Amino acid sequence: MTKPEPADKIVPRIVQQYSERPRGWHIMSTPRGEMLVLSSDSAFQLKLIPLNPYEFTGAGVELPESCDTVDTIRSSPEFGLRPLSESDLHGILNSITGDKGPKLSLDDILKRTPRSIEDISVDTPAPILRGPVLMRPDLGSLSPEILKRQISLDRSAERTFRKRFPERAGMFF
C-alpha cells in the first residue's frame, strides 16, 4: 500500500488531471468525508476533514491497481461540470411540473461532454450542473482493501489535522 499524502498535495493533482481531461471521472463520497475519485486511468481514495465551507484538510492516496469495486463504480454515469442554458432550465422545470413545452431530462444533460474548470468562465452567468456524485454511508463496506486503506487514511488525516490545527483538534478528537 502506498503511503498517504496530505490532501493539500493530492487534491491539486486530481484537479489538474480533471482539467486536462474531464471525461471518464466518477466520484463516490460519504457523509464522513471519505471519497473515491476515479478517472479512466487513475484512482484516488481520500479522507477529508472540513475546516469551513471553503477549506479542508485530510489525507489521500493514489490507488495502485484496479479492483472489481472500482470497476463497478466506473460503470456509473460520469461526473462532470456541465453549463446549463436558460432553455435547459425551462426544459427541466417543464419535465418536473408537467407543463407544456419542451422537456429535458437530467439524462440528456449527463450525456453532454463535461467541461474542464478552465473552460467555464467566471464571467459566465449560466448555472453549472456538477455531478453526479455517488453517495454511500461508508466506503469500508465496499471491500476489505478499501477498508484497510480507509483506516490508514483516517489516522493520517487526523494526524494532519492535529499538526496543522492543534487548538481546533483538541475540540474534536
Task: Enumerate residues 6+ apart whose C-beta is below 8 A from 72.
Answer: none
For every one of its 173 residues, what pLDDT tens digit does the chain have, with 9 covering 90 and above? 578 999 999 999 999 999 999 999 999 999 999 999 999 888 999 999 998 888 999 999 998 776 777 888 888 889 999 999 888 888 888 888 888 878 888 888 889 999 988 888 776 667 989 999 999 999 988 889 899 999 999 999 999 988 888 877 666 65
Residue whose cell numbers read 466506473: 74
Buried b / exposed e over 142-161, threshold 16 CB at 10 Å, is beebbeebbebbbebbbebb
Query: Which cell is 123 given?
Result: 464571467
Residue whose cell numbers read 493539500: 8
pLDDT at 171: 65
Strand 43-52 to 34-38 pairing: antiparallel
DSSP assigned state of 101: S
